[in-house]
Amino acid sequence: MTTDKLLATQGYVVGVEISGSGSHLSVALADLNGTLLYKARHPLEYVPDSETVLRLVDDMFAEVAAPGRLQDGRLLRVGVAVGGLVDTTHGVVRTLHHAHGWDNFPLQEYLEEKLDVPCIIDNNANAVALAEVQCGAGAGERDVLYVGLGRGIGGGMVLDGKIYHGATCLAGEIGHILVKENGPKCSCGGFGHL
């Protein structure tokens, strides 16, 4: 127990963000207090395929989690925020509406094998919602709905301090709610979505 406690107070975590088009990639190193120690960003001028994204994430991870930066412990977890539909229970990216090659991609297993560290993946709006509750605008709250206005409209819900995924992992995905019958085409292929 003592050893576990010691490790848990001296480790590091890495956060990865893959945007909905895959063209904005960020990888960051933090300590267990959430203090950002190092960050790499990689905006691309084009929409890359999934293989390109994964290769870049790999390179950025090697840069961010270089042994020289991990002086006071080991890397304990990697959290990945993805700008698409994510089945968190199974660690699978269901789809990215703005990029190809991601349908039913087992990202969690892929990264765990590649990086040799336990990984968690979730939708990026869900990840932001949780971050806001833990150390941002929603600090001290238990129930928060986060709405992100970007290229699309993302939503994430935190209930009782935890990300609420719902039965289909689509809870909080308000961007694809129908607001106008026969409205304009949405990136998901539907029509009239928010």
Contact residues toward Zn ion (CB under 5 A) are 176, 186, 188, 190, 193
Cβ–Cβ under 8 Å, residues 111 and 70 = no
What is the per-residue DSSP string for 74-113? -EEEEEEEESSEEETTTTEEEE-TTSSS-TTB-HHHHHHH
Q: Output the six-digit token pair for 77.
A: 């977890």
Among residues 91 and 155, whose Cβ is nearest to Zn ion? 155
Please tell me the distance from the alpha carbon of residue 176 to that of residue 188, in angstroms, as a whole number. Answer: 8
SS3 70: coil
Distance of closest approach, residue 94 Cβ to Zn ion, in angstroms? 13
Among residues 98 and 193, whose Cβ is nearest to Zn ion? 193
SS3 16: strand
Among residues 97 and 165, whose Cβ is nearest to Zn ion? 97
Distance of closest approach, residue 87 Cβ to Zn ion, in angstroms? 17
Distance of closest approach, residue 192 Cβ to Zn ion, in angstroms? 9
Please tell me the distance from the alpha carbon of residue 103 to that of residue 86, in angstroms, as a whole number. Answer: 10
Distance of closest approach, residue 116 Cβ to Zn ion, in angstroms? 37
Burial of 171 (0-12, 13-18, 19+ CB in 10 A): middle
Among residues 94 and 176, whose Cβ is nearest to Zn ion? 176
Distance of closest approach, residue 48 Cβ to Zn ion, in angstroms? 22
Distance of closest approach, residue 89 Cβ to Zn ion, in angstroms? 22
Among residues 137 and 177, whose Cβ is nearest to Zn ion? 177
Among residues 79 and 94, whose Cβ is nearest to Zn ion? 94
Tell me the CA end-to-end span of the chain in Å, nearest whole number.
Answer: 50
